[in-house]
């Protein structure tokens, strides 16, 4: 699945994620999982588009 973001913006986003401290990354991951649990159909849709 490809993002519509420009390459420079993708790189900036990835660089910012790499700079996050461990606890912030853990919190972000937990929030994403909570959102996925609230909308499991969207998760299935994303997985189906990737695989």
Tokens for 1, please give them.
């699945």
pLDDT score for 1: 53
pLDDT score for 21: 96
pLDDT tens, position by position, 1-51: 567 778 999 899 899 999 999 999 999 999 999 999 999 998 888 778 777
Tell me, yes or no, whether 1 lies in a domain: no
Q: What are the φ/ψ torsions at residue 2 (nearest 5 degrees)?
A: -105, 140
Tell me, yes or no, whether 36 lies in a domain: yes
| Cα gap 51→39, rounded to integer Å | 19
Q: What are the φ/ψ torsions at residue 3 (nearest 5 degrees)?
A: -85, 155
Q: Tally the domains of the chain.
A: 1
Instruction: Considering only the C-alpha atoms of the chain, give the largest distance between any 2 of them, rounded to a whole number of Å.
Output: 31
Predicted structure pTM score: 0.63
Tell me, yes or no, whether 14 lies in a domain: no
pLDDT score for 28: 92
Residue 38 belongs to what domain range? Answer: 21-51
| Count of alpha carbons within 13 angstroms of residue 16, beta-carbon side | 7
Tell me, yes or no, whether 3 lies in a domain: no
């Amino acid at each position: 699945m490809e993002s519509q973001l420009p390459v420079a913006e993708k790189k900036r986003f990835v660089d910012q994620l790499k700079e996050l401290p461990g606890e912030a990354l853990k919190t972000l991951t937990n929030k994403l999982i909570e959102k996925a649990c609230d909308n499991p159909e969207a998760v299935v849709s994303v997985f189906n588009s990737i695989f």
